[in-house]
Structure 1
Amino acid sequence: MASIDYYLGTISPFSYLAGTRLEKIADRHGASITYKPVDLLQLFDRTGGIRPADRHPSRMEYRAQELVRWAEYLDMPLNLKPAHWPVNMAPSSYAIIAAQQAGGGDLGGLVHGFTRAVWAEQRDISDDAVIRDVLGAHGFDPALADQGLFVGAETYGRNLEQAVADGAFGGPFYVVRDSGQRFWGQDRLEFLDRHLASL
């Protein structure tokens, strides 16, 4: 059975646009997914990327066009200028880490729930009440928002180091452990699907 490490940022619009397509692909091929939230801004710093706030206007204008095109293509609602962006992604990332450890809910739905909260619902995913609500909506104990914060912080830091070691430089980023193949971006999910079919 193939295993996929999924590096994601809970404030990433492209992680949002990935939806739950990864989960459908993994299910089709009997693959497992390990969710690895990372601080994308630090990942950019570590791997030669540029934070959105520091990018040339032409790059940001093109990014805006691409986001609108993909949202329309995928028929997903998108607020191009969310009310709460950028926002501290650590609390929601800790919640994903705790939920993955606890099990029992819809982890892919939880990840999408946080990104959707930012890009479609104008919600602040650094707010404790929002984190609890998203956890509960996807079958997890809302109290996970308070539990394992230290372990969550430790894992969050390790995820960043692992992302760098794995050659990740943005999000969403998918690494197939069995083959070492890497796929960057929600627009590469079809290639990931084809790759898993070949294993």
Structure 2
Amino acid sequence: MWAAFLMRVIRKKVVLGFIFSISLTYCILSIINENGEISINEMEVPPIRKQDQPFLWHSGKEENLTSIKVTTCRNSVQGKSENTKRYACDTCKENGCCSIYEYCISCCLDPNKKNILQGVLGKASETFNVLFASVTDHFELCLAKCRTSSQSVQHENSYRDPRAKHCYGETPPVAAAAQPVPADSAE
């Protein structure tokens, strides 16, 4: 008898509305409290480099690689490089555009390219200052420059030159000539 009485009370619209209101209030409060408890350590904010802060460049001299303490592996998102030479520019052209992302980074890291990269940093517009502000050293600059070069794109999704997709230099690649359509397949 108690069970039947309890079920009749629970089925009333007022009681169901009250239960729904309490549940909704609890849900909203838990979401607000959860968002308020995010600490700085949980958010991965890259360090911001100020314009007057010195930039860390790789030196041209060979260091004793066995005495350097490596704390983290600083490879690209695509994985460890597929080349073994220190500064491989095998697929790169004179204007600083390469067909393979890893070769672009490797060639960009060459200490002889420091003047080109300093020019890129000096001519960075306000839009790119946001991108380059989180870049703290030579390697990160090469990662960003080879990955985000808009100079190699002709339209939204086509490259100016498919053999020069990734650029670290200031000069955009020359647009590749369109292949002529044979007369037989024109119909």
| TM-score of the aligned structures, taking structure 1 as reference length | 0.28
| TM-score of the aligned structures, taking structure 2 as reference length | 0.29
Q: Which has the higher helix share?
A: 1
Report which of the two structures shows the higher radius of gyration computed on alpha carbons.
2
Greater RCO structure (CA 8 Å; 6+ sep) = 1
Q: Which has the higher strand share?
A: 1
